[in-house]
Structure 1
């Protein structure tokens, strides 16, 4: 009886959503993405495992256990040898970054991507009606949006929003803000700029849970151009069809699993706890309960009700079986997963029952560019486009997680066949590589040998 009621409720909800889409003016609430531009730093900013070791050695607070932990993490992270590091870290100023360092880091991303975006789209800066910038770890005065408005001499009635502290899923929060603004401002143009300030937030202490951020995060970012003007439909790359935001911050474990703190020695940084995976899974489950009825056909929703009913009866672990018994590809064609780390990609892949083909864009992005925080999703999307996977009518499921703890997901409809090599242009022929094994795994394999624990750091040559 309970199962029958659940199926009946799903059916009614499905009918209700369809009616709303048909009769409540969806045409006037459209959100088209016209272009996006990802940032690629210069070659002098590249950091491989060997140069990472030299950076690590500059931290005199670390002992043998900490060095060993960092080396093991670096060679097993899934991050390749061509990611980009902040300029002040490359130059050895990570312990004493200046405000100028932070602003220059932002300027590099902002103006490189925006210059290319305006040139490619043919839309001038003076035509922009809405500007949203999301940078979690830097909030100067005047704001970062003001910095962009001043540079491009944008119009005085532009609606500017500066988002901070939103973490790796901030891009979709910014896009949701644009979507809400589009309900008020008709035939408008909007820009979203997503990046992160890493140079001034490099962790210089020895807490292992805080050292992880140095191993995973890299320089990157993206600028995107949107409109709700139906006259530009034929020029659009994507149309936003669904967006669902979930905030799990009421749970103490989830709130604290990814948090900015100072360690016992007073060094600021990000603490990533072992509870992060569980928090992500729980937030993901909550999000899917809202999103799936919006994107799956009726017969799949009935299947979903059956599976969920079985979970509740069997008390199945929340980390497993999210996609068990569901054919998600009946509602979406591609999976754009936040490249936050191997554990994040593996966890989403396992829970949704995805193939290695589905996970390839996220894995390759992590390998080539690292975790670029809120900008990461767009490198994944760029990989799909460069590989000519995105065809007219395809639906792209974008999955992101962020501190708080947040899970923000959306679905895009591809408006025309896409094949721009974009930021992947100079390396697309190398991907996917035959192996993602770090080339220094063998060289640094000795770190796992407990018989060498008597060694001192000053006795080791990492060059």
Structure 2
């Protein structure tokens, strides 16, 4: 009897230990704060046009290209620009300019985050900051630790070069640290250094970043302390990261380089859409079985098998693909650009209602790089879409090339106006076009294509 009970007791003990360990590995989001720049940094049509016309390296064709890009970008009249760009110093940024831009975003969002949650900076156990295009000494994490006088044993991580999907990379790091550090509090700060990385050359593939990227960022508070579960707004269910860096074409489709004239900028190539499609497909192959019900996976398997047997099938037909809405209620796409949002939405079979948050976030805030996802989430919350038990799929694409996706569970009904509170009643806009389309829409007219730079 004793010989039989001993291994059984051991198995029960290991199972009990595993359950307890998993209970301590939860990742809860307690709060987040998005950045809203001062009104004197707002960009309208006239300011955008003036900034474009200041670049003496451009010819008529380049001006036409930029105006055409902005007119069709889906970005509105109320986005924000770095101060040194507004002041005409984009061609000679200083370190002071860069640090001032980062301090404004980080400190304002963190001040509000600590005030909202009642958590003291001295209680923070983990601090992760992701800014792709700026790496200083001491690091940006050190600046925050110094500002808020955090404790000496805080685990600090400074991530650079991770692109627009860096926010989920930082959260994945926090999630893994939680596995070996119980009852902890973690801060993630996601933003980008725009002012010191303005492109002043004339290569079209590098000028796109000036048209799309705007100032913004977000600070988030996480915990794995189950006693704080009642304060949580989201719970991380799963995360999948996919990296195509071993593929040369994917690696080079989003890359920081110098042009032939020595101007440094961010090059976006035509290979980006192909890399994004491959990365997203591979990512979802791993993620989808974790979140969709078995009956939907079984239905998809049967339909796919029947299609493969039919040699005369000309089209897949409606409903032949996976129905993501059987396991996901909300889709939080990175607002990287109008074309990206439309293509991802089409490939996933999403409706205009599903795509409204990223489209409106792009219109109001522009592409704020790693912070963009949280403006989309803020729109959903301000519109009171998020109910307890709902699941949110976050999709982010970034340089590398990589695709990082995760699923959150809403812990309680969310209805805070957050950074959208002053303008949410005016959204959704019937059209995402800005007044560039009214003033420069003629640029799309083929009848003016005869205009050339002599």
Bigger Cα displacement from structure 2, 324-333 vs 70-79: 324-333
In the alignment, what sits opposite 1:272?
268
CA-to-aligned-CA distance 1:172-216 (integer Å, 9 cap, x gap): 000000001101110000000000001000000000010000000
In the alignment, what sits opposite 2:182?
186
Distance 1:154 1:57 in 2: 45
Larger Rg: 2
Return closer, same or farther for 1:87/1:321 CA change in 2, 3 Å cut-off: farther
SS in 2 for 1:443: helix
Choose which of 324, 343, 347 in structure 2 pairs with 1:347.
Answer: 343
Q: Are 1:305 and 2:319 an aligned pair?
A: no
In the alignment, what sits opposite 1:406?
402
Q: Are 1:391 and 2:387 an aligned pair?
A: yes
Distance 2:367 2:322 in 1: 29
In the alignment, what sits opposite 1:8?
none
Instruction: Tell me if structure 2 keeps the 8 A contact 1:248–1:406.
Output: yes
Distance 2:72 2:59 in 1: 20
Return closer, same or farther for 1:204/1:322 CA change in 2, 3 Å cut-off: farther
Q: CA RMSD in A?
A: 2.3
Choose which of 194, 198, 220 in structure 2 pairs with 1:198.
Answer: 194
Instruction: Tell me if structure 1 keeps the 8 A contact 2:24–2:179.
Output: yes
Q: Are 1:366 and 2:337 an aligned pair?
A: no
Bigger Cα displacement from structure 2, 131-140 vs 440-449: 440-449
Q: Are 1:326 and 2:338 an aligned pair?
A: no
Q: Are 1:263 and 2:255 an aligned pair?
A: no
SS in 2 for 1:37: strand
Distance 1:83 1:401 in 2: 21
In the alignment, what sits opposite 1:116?
112
Which residues in structure 2 correspond to 1:124-203 (within 5 Å)?
A: 124-203=120-199
Distance 2:307 2:264 in 1: 41
In the alignment, what sits opposite 2:71?
75
Instruction: Tell me if structure 2 keeps the 8 A contact 1:245–1:406.
Output: yes
Instruction: Tell me if structure 2 keeps the 8 A contact 1:210–1:270.
Output: yes
> Following TM superposition, by how much is the alpha carbon of 1:123 offset from its aligned partner in structure 2, in angstroms?
0.3
Distance 2:52 2:179 in 1: 49
Instruction: Tell me if structure 1 keeps the 8 A contact 2:75–2:433.
Output: no
Distance 1:77 1:200 in 2: 23
> Following TM superposition, by how much is the alpha carbon of 1:310 offset from its aligned partner in structure 2, in angstroms?
7.2
Q: Are 1:433 and 2:433 an aligned pair?
A: no
> Following TM superposition, by how much is the alpha carbon of 1:24 offset from its aligned partner in structure 2, in angstroms?
8.0
Instruction: Tell me if structure 1 keeps the 8 A contact 2:127–2:187.
Output: yes
How many residues are matched?
Answer: 436
In the alignment, what sits opposite 2:10?
none
Distance 1:25 1:312 in 2: 44
> Following TM superposition, by how much is the alpha carbon of 1:383 offset from its aligned partner in structure 2, in angstroms?
0.3
> Following TM superposition, by how much is the alpha carbon of 1:347 offset from its aligned partner in structure 2, in angstroms?
1.0
Instruction: Tell me if structure 2 keeps the 8 A contact 1:323–1:352.
Output: no
Distance 2:334 2:265 in 1: 21
Return closer, same or farther for 1:452/1:344 CA change in 2, 3 Å cut-off: closer
> Following TM superposition, by how much is the alpha carbon of 1:27 offset from its aligned partner in structure 2, in angstroms?
1.3
Instruction: Tell me if structure 1 keeps the 8 A contact 2:34–2:216.
Output: yes
TM-score by length of 2: 0.92
SS in 1 for 2:33: strand
CA-to-aligned-CA distance 1:144-174 (integer Å, 9 cap, x gap): 0000000000000000000000000000000
SS in 1 for 2:214: coil
TM-score by length of 1: 0.90
Bigger Cα displacement from structure 2, 439-448 vs 271-280: 439-448
SS in 2 for 1:95: coil
In the alignment, what sits opposite 2:373?
377
Choose which of 62, 67, 74 in structure 2 pairs with 1:66.
Answer: 62
> Following TM superposition, by how much is the alpha carbon of 1:325 offset from its aligned partner in structure 2, in angstroms?
2.4
Task: Give structure 1 stretches of 5+ with no counterpart.
Answer: 1-18, 458-463
SS in 1 for 2:50: helix
Distance 1:147 1:52 in 2: 32
Task: Give structure 2 stretches of 5+ with no counterpart.
Answer: 1-14
In the alignment, what sits opposite 2:5?
none
Distance 2:261 2:317 in 1: 42
CA-to-aligned-CA distance 1:45-92 (integer Å, 9 cap, x gap): 111222111001110000000000000000100000000001110110
Choose which of 414, 421, 437 in structure 1 pairs with 2:417.
Answer: 421
